[in-house]
């Protein structure tokens, strides 16, 4: 085996199996899910994908002939130990890796969810039309495609429906899967902060423009020496402070409100408008396009609240009225050493979901 297991990457594949199970059997069964896991050869993920019709069933009255195909391409290094022969010893002993078993249990027990409602509406389109249909359901789990899109594609999973040979374009469903994470976007600090400033109409003065664009964005893009690395960290800190200050002072206008919602939608749903399904050990939370559109219609503005100090500083965007947080911006840095031993271990700029972003329970 190679690499270190990433539960989020593995859950993309498991959730895809669960979607296929729902289409075929109207419920999720742990035994069926794990038997499919056992059949998936992760070696295929090295340079290809697993593709198989996993179920063919008769459903409805009159009976529809329903085939469910599962396509899966995951990151080999972070998922290989959770499928196929690597997983077989655990399968036989009814154990699992990390929190995967608990998260499968959550998928089974949480039946009142938006994603299940979406699936049921699709199923009703062929089950309740009073005729026998040939139905093909294709569930695609592609944990690599989104990365190659430059961040514009957020969906990890796509469901396509063909009825009697005709693609039901309005039935394509996209899901962005998370595994107990509120991170919506993990951005390059320089590019992310400059994009945020631009979205909110912030213009840099001549001195800042030169310092950030030329020095930070160009000369220090590939900082190599300890002195260059220290300068890069210092300038990113300054850019983050500027970002927080400018956004705090600019809040309160309709233009600001629209920009805040557009930023949230872009980093959350992407071009493919993928609803977010966040699966944890004991709950499922969802962020839906419909819910965020409703929030935007009822929100008259934002209060922007900085919290924390030093490296823990964040900027919370709270909706007016109500004061619920839609999202926050956070900069994370991790450096070690001093002098000639100075090293950058981590520089990240996050957009993270607030509690107000999640759709209410059904």
| Predicted confidence (pLDDT) per residue in 203-259, tens digit | 999 999 999 999 999 999 999 999 999 999 999 999 999 999 999 988 889 999 999
Label residue 149 by pLDDT band (50, 70, 90): low
Do 95 and 139 fall within a single domain? yes
Identify the domain boundary among 143, 161, 178.
178
- Residue 92: its pLDDT value, please? 78
The residue whose two tokens read 């090293």 is 343
Following DSSP, what letter does each residue of 76-141 receive, concatenated?
HHHHGGGSHHHHHHHHHTT--STTHHHHHHHHHH--S-HHHHHHHHHHHHHHTSSS--EEEEEEEE
Residue 280 domain-assigned (yes or no): no
Average pLDDT of the residues of the chain:
92
- Give the closest residue to 270 by CA, choosing from 175, 140, 172: 175
Residue 252 domain-assigned (yes or no): yes
Do 24 and 152 fall within a single domain? yes
Q: Which two tokens stand for residue 16?
A: 């895809």
Do 142 and 249 fall within a single domain? no
Domain count, the chain: 2
Residue 17 domain-assigned (yes or no): yes
Which value, in Å, is the radius of gyration of the alpha carbons in the chain?
23
Identify the domain boundary among 178, 197, 212.
178
Coil, helix or strand at residue 17: helix
Do 211 and 316 fall within a single domain? yes
Residue 206's alpha-carbon distances to 77, 200, 211, 246, 262, in angstroms, are 46, 18, 9, 16, 28
Q: Is 172 exposed, middle or buried (0-12, 13-18, 19+ CB in 10 A)?
A: middle
pLDDT of 86 > 90? The answer is no
Residue 261 domain-assigned (yes or no): yes
pLDDT of 14 > 70? The answer is yes
Q: How many residues does the chain have?
A: 362
Do 189 and 324 fall within a single domain? yes
Identify the domain boundary among 178, 198, 219.
178
Higher-pLDDT residue of 18 and 313 is: 18
> Which whole number is the average pLDDT over 186-198?
96
> Which whole number is the average pLDDT over 23-36?
95
Do 75 and 219 fall within a single domain? no
Residue 224 domain-assigned (yes or no): yes
- Residue 116: its pLDDT value, please? 97
Residue 289 domain-assigned (yes or no): no
- Residue 175: its pLDDT value, please? 95
Residue 258 domain-assigned (yes or no): yes
Do 125 and 69 fall within a single domain? yes
Residue 274 domain-assigned (yes or no): no
Do 199 and 344 fall within a single domain? yes
Do 155 and 251 fall within a single domain? no
Count CB-CB contacts under 10 A for residue 276.
Answer: 26
Label residue 147 by pLDDT band (50, 70, 90): low
DSSP percent split of the chain into helix, strand, coil, nearest 5:
45, 25, 25
Q: Are 97 and 5 in contact (CB under 8 A)?
A: yes
Higher-pLDDT residue of 167 and 355 is: 355
- Residue 167: its pLDDT value, please? 75
Q: Is the pTM of this model over 0.85?
A: yes
Coil, helix or strand at residue 74: coil
Neighbouring residues of 319: CB distance < 8 A, sequence distance ≥ 6: 295, 299, 301, 302, 325, 326, 356
Coil, helix or strand at residue 14: helix
Structural domain boundaries, residue 198? 183-268+300-357
Q: Is 195 exposed, middle or buried (0-12, 13-18, 19+ CB in 10 A)?
A: middle
pLDDT in tens, 95-145: 888 899 999 999 999 999 999 999 999 999 899 999 999 999 999 999 777
Label residue 1 by pLDDT band (50, 70, 90): very low
Do 188 and 173 fall within a single domain? no
Do 149 and 189 fall within a single domain? no
Q: Are 123 and 70 in contact (CB under 8 A)?
A: no
């Amino acid at each position: 085996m190679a690499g270190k297991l990433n539960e989020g990457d593995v859950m993309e594949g498991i959730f895809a199996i669960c979607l296929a199970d729902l289409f075929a059997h109207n419920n999720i069964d742990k035994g069926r899910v794990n038997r499919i896991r056992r059949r998936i050869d992760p070696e295929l993920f090295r340079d290809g994908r697993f593709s198989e019709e996993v179920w063919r069933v008769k459903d409805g009255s009159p009976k529809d002939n329903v085939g469910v195909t599962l396509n899966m391409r995951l990151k080999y290094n972070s998922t290989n130990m959770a499928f196929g022969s690597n997983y077989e010893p655990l399968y036989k002993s009814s154990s699992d890796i990390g929190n995967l078993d608990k998260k499968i249990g959550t998928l089974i027990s949480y039946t009142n969810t938006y994603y299940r409602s979406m699936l049921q509406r699709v199923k009703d389109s062929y089950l309740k039309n009073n005729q026998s249909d040939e139905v093909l359901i294709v569930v695609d789990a592609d944990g690599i495609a989104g990365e190659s899109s430059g961040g514009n594609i957020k969906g990890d999973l796509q469901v396509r429906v063909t009825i009697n040979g005709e693609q039901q374009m309005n039935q394509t469903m996209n899901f962005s899967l998370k595994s107990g994470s509120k991170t919506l976007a993990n951005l390059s600090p320089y590019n992310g902060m400059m994009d945020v400033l631009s979205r909110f109409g912030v213009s840099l003065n001549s001195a800042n423009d030169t310092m950030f664009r030329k020095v930070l964005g160009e000369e220090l893009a590939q900082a190599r020496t300890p002195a260059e690395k220290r300068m890069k960290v210092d300038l990113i800190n300054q850019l983050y402070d500027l970002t927080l200050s400018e956004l705090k002072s600019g809040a309160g206008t309709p233009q600001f409100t629209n920009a805040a919602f557009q930023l949230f939608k872009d980093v959350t749903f992407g071009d493919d408008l993928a609803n977010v399904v966040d699966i944890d050990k004991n709950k499922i939370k969802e962020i839906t396009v419909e819910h965020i559109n409703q929030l935007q219609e009822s929100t008259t503005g934002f209060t922007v609240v900085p919290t924390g100090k030093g490296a823990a500083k964040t900027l919370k965007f709270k909706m007016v009225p109500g004061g619920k947080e839609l999202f926050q911006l956070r900069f994370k840095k991790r450096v070690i050493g001093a002098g000639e031993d100075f090293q950058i271990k981590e520089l990240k700029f996050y957009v993270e979901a607030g509690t107000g972003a999640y759709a209410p329970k059904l």
